[in-house]
Amino acid sequence: MIFRRKVVAELGVDAAENAILNKEVEGLSQRQIVLARFFRHRAAMISIIVLAILVVIVFSAVDFSLGPITLHGWWKYSITDTPDLIVKGCPGYSIGCPTLTVNPFSAHFGLGDHPFGQDDVGHDYFALVMRGAQRSMLVTIIIGMLAGTIGTVIGAISGFYRGRIDNVLMRLVDFLITIPAIIIGSVIGYHFGNLGATFLAFYLGLFAWTGLSRLVRGEFLTLRERDFVDAARVAGASNRRIIFKHILPNAVGVIIVSVTLLMSGAILLETALSYLGFGVVAPDVSLGLLISKYQDAFTTRPWLFWYPGFFIVSIALSINFIGDGLRDAFDPRQRRRISRKDRARSSEIKREREAL
């Protein structure tokens, strides 16, 4: 308390806040500081838990294959099984209604035979939604990794070397940015959508890196003029070492946040393309394809939209909140808005200033 009053008296309120907050991170590395800020972001922590639960359920429920890797699911139906169609007990004389009951006092509490209902033929809709979520998440991950890698490399080369290389690469980026993403995706989906979600994601990732490259270029243009880069150059470090050992670690915050937001946009892009018929096509399944296929049944069987829509919104929002948490964690200007504890301490400092 004596230390705090002394700091307030000598430095003033704003400087005192910074001094006390800096006292908390004294002796911690930059990585520890970022992790501490991120763990105190409640929305990001909740989103990580929700996203982890969704990933576990989606990839463990039904069979998942990726090249030689095959995981067998615990759900009793596959996307090709056609059990007897439920025609009794459904509201409004509809068919294939969900059997999921969340009321713990109900005699039918639990998943039931078809928790998400059935389609017109009798396919289990839970299996279809799980397969669709698998494909949508796979597209999101592939686009994020591929576009993140290409955008980082292009932006780093352009920002570090500048000159003619920068002009050529940025004019290419300017040209690609002028073309709407939905048009590029439609052309790619029309030609490669029948090859499966993996190939579709690969080709979409080849054109989704433009925004990230401009952000990375801006960071490199700023960081290459810093004193530590000049010191490394004087010490005889090569351009490769300066890029990967000195500049890139300082730009990793912008890259991680941008890739996270890019992934949230990727799932929405895949959903829109599949809804328009230019994304994943039958016999494969995606969340956007399910919504498009059963759009005529919205008034009679709305659950055919609820469940794919729930997974789309949940995944996109979770990734967005995680990106917000990462942005706040990497931005040192956000440190005063991290937690209620810091705000309470700031109010206490102001009261002590007034008392003096």
What's the CATH code of the domain at 271? 1.10.3720.10
Confirm whether 24 is domain-assigned: no
Which of 245, 248, 241, 262 minimizes the C-alpha distance to 220?
248
Handedness of CA 136, 142, 145, 151 (dihedral sign): negative
Going by pLDDT thresholds of 50, 70 and 90, the confidence category of residue 148 is very high
* pLDDT given for residue 27 in this prediction: 62
Over the range 190-222, which residues count as b (16 or more CB within 10 Å of their CB) and which as e?
A: eebbeeebeebbbbbbebbbbbbbbbbbebbee
pLDDT at 84: 81
Per the structure block, which two tokens stand in for 224? 């290459």
Check pLDDT > 90 for residue 99: no
* pLDDT for residue 214: 92
The closest alpha carbon to 86, from 130, 119, 110, belongs to 119
Instruction: Output the six-digit token pair for 58.
Output: 């989606």
pLDDT at 355: 60
- The residue among 12 and 186 whose pLDDT is bigger is 186
Q: What is the mean pLDDT of residues 278-307?
A: 82
The answer to whether position 146 is within a domain reads yes
Q: What's the pLDDT at 80?
A: 85
Q: Is residue 348 part of a domain?
A: no
Residue 8: predicted pLDDT: 45
User: What total number of domains does the chain contain?
Assistant: 1
Strands 64-66 and 69-71: antiparallel
* 243 occurs within a structural domain: yes
| Locus of tokens 């880069």 | 229
Q: Mean pLDDT over residues 127-154, rounded?
A: 91
Asked whether residue 21 is domain-assigned, the answer is no
Whether the predicted pLDDT of 333 surpasses 50: yes
pLDDT level of residue 289 (50, 70, 90 thresholds): confident
* Sequence-ordered list of residues with C-beta below 8 angstroms from that of 193, at least 6 positions apart, any chain: 200, 273, 278, 279, 280, 281
- Cα-to-chain-centroid distance, residue 198: 18
Q: What is the mean pLDDT of the chain?
A: 80
pLDDT of residue 238: 87
Task: Give the range of the structural domain holding residue 311, as residue numbers without chain letter.
Answer: 41-337
* Assigned domain for 332 exists: yes
Residue 284 falls inside a structural domain: yes
Give the pair of three-digit tokens for residue 38: 């991120």
Residues of the chain above pLDDT 90, percent:
18
Give the highest mean pLDDT range of 133-147, 173-187, 266-280. 133-147
317 burial (CB, 10 Å; 0-12 / 13-18 / 19+) is: middle
Quote the pLDDT of residue 200: 85
Q: Specify the pLDDT at position 246.
A: 85
Of 44-53, 94-103, 118-127, 224-233, the range with the highest mean pLDDT is 44-53
Segment holding 71, helix H or strand E: strand 69-71
- The answer to the question of residue 2 being in a domain is no
Q: Given this model, what pLDDT does residue 347 score?
A: 62
